[in-house]
Amino acid sequence: MEQMRLTISDSDLPGLFAVADEFSIRGQRTTLLCSRIRLWGAVIAALGGVVNWSRPGLNPWAALTVVGFAAALTAEIVLLSRRPERAWYSGRAVAESVKTLAWRFSVGGDPFPAGLPPRHAQDLLRARLSGLVTGIRFPVVLPHDAMATSTAMGTARAASFEERKTAYLACRIQDQQDWYGKKARINDRSEARWRIALIIGEVTAVLLAVARMAGLWDVDLAGILAALVGSGAGWMALKQYANLAEAYSVASMELVLTHGRLTAADEGEWSQAVADAEDAISREHTMWLASRSGQAL
């Protein structure tokens, strides 16, 4: 008789994961939106400052400058007062910590080895999750299932060693490796495109500045391009394309090696092998968080 394939998805994790994940996503969206407004506001203000044309009693280009600076100022105030990046970083840290604890529990990884009595394992998981809640740095209303294990988690933990191994390799290690590889490629391409765009902008700015110096026109288009290039550089610094591409690539390669070690692990080695694999995944999250906020999980 064919065995049913075990699967564990994000929807099967304790409710605390969904709360922290959603909070992080909202913080990320707000951070990136305000950053875009701030950078584009500077460009719009530069555009308004370049053109001197006006009508009696009205200078629309000066008004454009005011609008640009006002938009940038508003975005800056939102970032300063609400600090959405904190929600982004701390929410992600909690969500990933919940995920690693849930996977350790589900497949019998340390500190939840398969031989641990079910009641003790449940109590230990709740204690670890409660520790995460006390460290939460954002306002949150927890659902009733915030600390509860799902049916899928319980089914996986009660399954045979081979079933747990197969589920962990496919649904955790391979899935995470594929995610890292995809993100590494996306960030590498984005970094290359932005670099090319900045080079084109800088070369064009030089040519326009030379043309203005030669008296071909009086409009300071190079100033607009300088603002664009500066905003582009600021966006690249925020997104960290190059750093993320390298970090994700290293993490993906490390999980290839981890996959091999897990495949070769017997039942006696399994608990520690899972712990080592989760530590490897957690290292990437720790490095990401440190690069963003100077904190550690």
Q: 90-116: per-residue pLDDT in tens?
A: 899 999 999 999 999 999 999 999 999
Q: What is the dihedral of CA 286, 288, 289, 294, to 10 degrees?
A: 100
Q: Does residue 148 register a pLDDT over 80?
A: yes
The dihedrals phi and psi of 282, each to the nearest 5 degrees, come to: -65, -30
CB-CB neighbours of 253 under 10 Å = 14
Question: Distance between CA atoms of 127 and 95, rounded to whole angstroms?
Answer: 16
Residues 243-248 have a mean pLDDT of 92
Question: Distance between CA atoms of 98 and 10, rounded to whole angstroms?
Answer: 10
- H or E element at residue 25: helix 15-50
Q: Which two tokens stand for residue 94?
A: 């909690």
pLDDT of residue 58: 67
For CA atoms 51, 57, 58, 62, the dihedral sign is positive
225 Cβ contact partners less than 8 Å away, ≥ 6 residues apart:
201, 202, 204, 205, 208
pLDDT of residue 210: 87
pTM (two decimals): 0.86
pLDDT of residue 145: 79
Read off the DSSP letter of residue 159: S
